[in-house]
């Protein structure tokens, strides 16, 4: 049997908002999860690409970071960052 150094094992109630929107350049289907585990940050998961990121409201405004985290073009990143800045 494998031995693991367990870092944490917690169960908690969370809230997840599923939201889809169409911008000028792309469509996005997201799951935005609120949890205490990430110290007030939200877990944002793109249902289309399978990419996710743990974000603060301030990080949502960083278009370059959003582009890198979700592997989207700059135009798509601007749309996604604008949406997340208002909804996270």
Q: What is the mean pLDDT of each run of 10 residues along the chain (88 residues)?
A: 84 95 96 92 96 95 96 96 94
| Sequence-ordered strand ranges (E) for the chain | 15-22, 27-34, 42-46, 52-55
**pLDDT score at 8:** 87
**pLDDT score at 1:** 62
**pLDDT score at 71:** 97
* pTM score, whole prediction: 0.88
CB 84 within 8 A of CB 59: no
| Joined tokens for residue 77 | 């990143």
CB 26 within 8 A of CB 76: yes
**pLDDT score at 3:** 85
Alpha carbon distance 86, 68 (integer Å): 20
């Amino acid at each position: 049997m494998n031995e693991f150094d367990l870092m944490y094992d917690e169960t908690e109630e969370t809230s997840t908002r599923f939201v889809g929107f169409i911008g000028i350049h792309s469509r996005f289907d997201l799951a935005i999860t609120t949890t205490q585990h990430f110290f007030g940050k939200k877990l944002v998961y793109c249902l289309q690409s399978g990419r996710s990121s743990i974000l603060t409201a301030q990080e949502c405004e960083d278009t370059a970071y959003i582009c890198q985290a979700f592997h989207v073009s700059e135009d798509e990143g601007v749309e996604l960052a604008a949406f997340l800045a208002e909804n996270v």
